[in-house]
Amino acid sequence: MPAKVDMDKIVSLCKRRGLIFPSSEIYGGLASCWDYGPMGVELKRNVRDAWWKSIVHERDDVVGLDTSIMMHPGVWAASGHIDSFTDPLVECKSCHLRWRADAIEGKGCPKCGGELTEPRMFNLMFKTSMGPVEEEASTIYLRPETAQGIFVNFDNVITTSRKKLPLGIAQIGKSFRNEITTGNFIFRTREFEHMELEYFVKPGTDEEWLDYWVKERFDWYVKLGVRKENLRLRQHGKDELAHYARDCYDIEYLFPMGWSELEGIANRGDFDLIQHAKCSGKELSYYDNEAGEKYVPYVIEPSAGVDRSVLAFLIDAYDEEEIEGEKRTVLHLHRSLAPIKVAVLPLSRNEKLTPLAKEVFNKLCPNFVTDYDDSQSIGRRYRRQDEIGTPFCVTIDFESLEDKQVTIRERDSLAQIRVPVEELDKILAAKLRGEAFDASPLWATREK
């Protein structure tokens, strides 16, 4: 059963509210490329930060890394990407459109029904050349995964981090794949951002660690508000495992087009370290002081996409509700992901309200990502904040000038509470930390 929202609604909300725009739009756009607008850039950043916090900062067995997109071409020969990072491609003999052979049903071209060529293997890596002379020696590739930057730095990290195994190395960064079939908005694009962890373990303990990371990663999405019933796990069949994988699980999400991969968690064994040691001539192993033995570690790899996670969070948060006869569209985003945490909204643009409203804004913005909006009716401004998922709006009215109190309006319950301006910081900080909802009777009032 597909998710309740169709993709067009998400695409339209993203455009309308400054989350995601088609790339190069004034030139007619560029297939499968998207730009993150002012709200989208905050959301994407929050997704990255949430991942980094849970994978690196909240643990003592993982360190971070940031490696270059362009790497020595030998890396891709060793990793198997030059030979094996391919998809079978067929071409229509009439309209010349190209398709992934494994993604089409029936025998003819899905567009015009024309006859298709025999499949041929197509490498998904983008090639470019480095240096001013275009010769074979300067051909390089844009990385299709960030993982290889981690493997080739394994020894650098081990010798400088003073850490023991099991040890993880994490990286977030852009990857590029010349995908044959793109589409479904930001689900599959040719340029995207990876969040990858390579977790190095002692051989023999790898299966346990694979189970551990599958659970950790599944729970991460749930903790950030994705409904469990929209997530499931799927083990890869032997015939679909990547060339480097011994075992692999996908965390799948119920996207509008059906269940599809959100993240993959693979057991890469010692494939990569062995290959790089062989091809570079540098030993890549680990001396285990406690066991008194040397071995090549196995690697467990949770590999997620920032953009695909953003899409799943948006879809899961999207809701259309009826409030007292009026429709409202709202993103019930987890507070840590919401692009704006607090919106300061003076009841009107009346010049008497502006000084206090500005004072409140200036007080809040060093601590929270805060928006200030005094145009249009208060109702419309609430709707705008609901559509971008702002958890709290603070309204300043004429009474505020007398009693120095303002109203906090909560996005999901629509409850309203009046609080003193001096307490505002503290109350919002507690609410944004997710501390128990204050059961004060004041919160029982609903928006009129």
What are the residues binding ligand GAP (CB under 6 A)?
145, 147, 177, 179, 188-189, 192, 194, 196, 261-264, 301, 303-305, 307-308
In terms of CB distance, is 188 or 381 closer to ligand GAP?
Answer: 188
Q: Least distance in Å: CB of 178 to ligand GAP?
A: 9
For ligand GAP, the closer of residues 301 and 371 by Cβ is: 301
Amino acid at 357: A
Residue nearest to ligand GAP (CB): 305
* In the complex, least distance from residue 193 CB atom to ligand GAP, rounded to whole angstroms: 8
Let me know the angle formed at the C-alpha of 124 by 123 and 130, rounded to the nearest 5 degrees. 90
Nearer to ligand GAP (CB atom), residue 256 or residue 391: 256
> Closer to ligand GAP at the Cβ: 190 or 418?
190
Smallest separation (angstroms) from ligand GAP to the CB of 248: 8
The count of other CB atoms within 10 Å of the CB of residue 355 is 12
Q: How far is the CB of 382 from ligand GAP (least distance, A)?
A: 34
- Please give the structure tokens belonging to residue 204: 């023999």
Positive/negative CA dihedral, 48, 50, 51, 56: positive
- Residue 306 beta carbon to ligand GAP: minimum distance, rounded to whole angstroms: 8
C-beta of 124 vs 421, nearer to ligand GAP:
124
| CB closer to ligand GAP, 145 vs 206 | 145
Minimum separation from the CB atom of position 246 to ligand GAP (A) = 14
Q: Report d(CA 411, CA 19) in Å as an integer.
A: 19
Least distance between ligand GAP and beta carbon 59 (Å): 20
Q: Which residues touch 93 (CB under 8 Å, ≥6 apart)?
A: 114, 115, 116, 117
Cβ closest to ligand GAP, residue 185 vs residue 382: 185
Q: Could you tell me which residues come within 8 angstroms of residue 293 by beta carbon, excluding any fewer than 6 positions away? A: 287
Cβ distance to ligand GAP smaller for residue 91 or 196: 196
Q: How far is the CB of 124 from ligand GAP (least distance, A)?
A: 9
